[in-house]
Amino acid sequence: MTAIFDTLMPLPRRLGRAALDLLFPPLCMMCRKQVGEPGALCAECWKNVSFIDGPSCASCGLPFEFDVGAQTRCATCLAHPPAFDRARSVMRYDEFSKGPILALKRSDRHDVVPAFARWLERAGRDLITDADVIVPVPLHPLRLWMRRFNQSALLAQALARRAGKSYAPLALQRTRATPSQGEMPSAKARRRNVRGAFRADRAQAVKDRKVLLIDDVLTTGATVDACARALKRAGAAKVTVLTLARVARPL
């Protein structure tokens, strides 16, 4: 497929890309070995990515070990039905996938965004097709100022551009500077931590529209659930969630 794309690419662009590849050889986004094209994985790393493509919870997308029916929901979703309508993720969050995700989040590795956007597009094709607008999970203004960028917004913007969808980066605001969810000892503590932390003041961006919410990692779903509640209070007709990775066992 890459060879076909290269053949169709205008000659000046092909020459420019060849020159760049010569000066700056494309590297595997995971292990940094040389690969054939930017944003690709080497064969060894590709085998190590745990993509989620089997049976899963009909609501939150938690992978199941066995196929127990397309409409089956996990125990957590049965006990605490989420405000979002459906969630899906590209891959499991494990020791292998953690590296490039944290590199984007903490080390300014923005070069991985185009590849991650392609993965999101493949994994969430049906969610994207159904969506009217794509919205990122926001950071609190103080944290955004300290980090200088919102990794979820970078992913959402790249995905919206690829899919030709409306992008509303300011549809949601984080109104309370909560402690990191990673510091919370349980799912219950995570839900309590983000309760009321989000607001959707720009109702015109989401009212009567089907919203696709983008985040980097889904752990218990507490953050995206709080976001979905705020979006639905603002009049969103439907809220689905697409994340790059998710923890594959409930906490």
Containing H/E element for 103? Answer: helix 95-107
The CB-side HSE value for 104 (13 A sphere, CA atoms) comes to 24
20-25, long-range: CB < 8 A, 24+ apart: none
pLDDT in tens, 151-186: 999 999 999 999 999 999 999 999 887 767 776 767
User: Could you give the dihedral angle defined by the CA atoms of residues 37, 120, 111 and 44, in that order, rounded to the nearest 10 degrees?
Assistant: -50
pLDDT in tens, 81-115: 999 999 999 999 998 899 889 888 887 888 889 99
pLDDT in tens, 11-55: 555 555 455 555 568 888 888 888 887 778 888 988 999 999 989
Question: What is the location of CATH 3.40.50.2020 in the chain?
Answer: 51-246
Q: How far is CA 235 from CA 60, 199, 202, in A?
A: 22, 12, 10
Q: For the domain 51-246, what is the CATH code?
A: 3.40.50.2020
Write down the pTM of the prediction.
0.86
Using H for helix, E for strand and C for coil, what is the string for 133-180?
EEEECCCCHHHHHHHCCCHHHHHHHHHHHHHCCEECCCCCEECCCCCC
Work out the average pLDDT over 64-85.
91
